Amino acid sequence: MEINILTISLFICAYLFGSIPNAVWIGKTFYGIDVREHGSKNAGSTNTVRVLGWKAGLPVLLLDIIKGAAGVNLVWFAGYTPGIEAFVNLQLFLGAFVVIGHIFPVFAGFRGGKGVASLFGIILAIAPFPTLIAFAIFLVVLFTTKYVSLSSMVSGFAFPLLIMFVFKTPIQSLIIFSLVVAVLLLMTHQKNIERLIRKEESKASFLFKKKK
């Protein structure tokens, strides 16, 4: 992968895609509420559902997934052959800039979310089959425990195992990326882990019922 004006421009575009604060804009535009001031104070789909209900949270979820996938698909402007290592490497770099944009969005005062939904869109575009299996694991853990944080971490740790041992990818950068995903999820959920250990983590019961 060459670093030139084109790739730098694509990195900037990926960051700007990631910086689109769907939770903030939808909350403020349609409800007059900044979700970062309520609930978990996180600008993501889960907190949007918690504060505003599924009617607001579902569009946020879908748009965050779409912006992740869209940022990665900027790779097609670089002219690489799909599937080769340079193609995947550029996808991974683009994905990293999308996540940075989501966590530190220039359009929302650099106060964003944890990037789980956008990360899902990114890895879905790069490695669809391992991602869908990891998502199924997420749903099983969520419906079993009702902890979004635990579900995110378990599926995140399952992802590199699927990449390495089930699909046996030969691309080393993808293996490293999958491990980084697991570590990042661990780091961004540190407070959740502490609450889980103390048995103080809130269950996401609100996800399973309609907001009145």
Q: What is the pLDDT of residue 208?
A: 64
Q: What is the mean pLDDT of the chain?
A: 90
Q: Which helix (H) or strand (E) holds 86?
A: helix 85-103
Cβ atoms of 26 and 59 closer than 8 Å: yes
Q: What is the pLDDT of residue 14?
A: 97
Written as one letter, the residue type at 25 is: W
The count of domains in the chain is 1
Report residue 165 as tokens: 């041992």
What is the model's pTM?
0.80
Domain of 63 in residue numbering reads as 5-208
- CB neighbour class for 52 (10 Å; exposed up to 12, middle 13-18, buried from 19): buried
Report residue 3 as tokens: 């670093």
101-120, pLDDT tens digit by residue?
A: 999 999 999 998 888 889 88
Its sign, for the CA torsion 98, 100, 103, 105, is negative
Cβ atoms of 112 and 100 closer than 8 Å: no
> Residue for token digits 């789909």?
45
Task: Indicate whether 211 pLDDT > 60.
Answer: no
Q: What is the pLDDT of residue 212?
A: 47
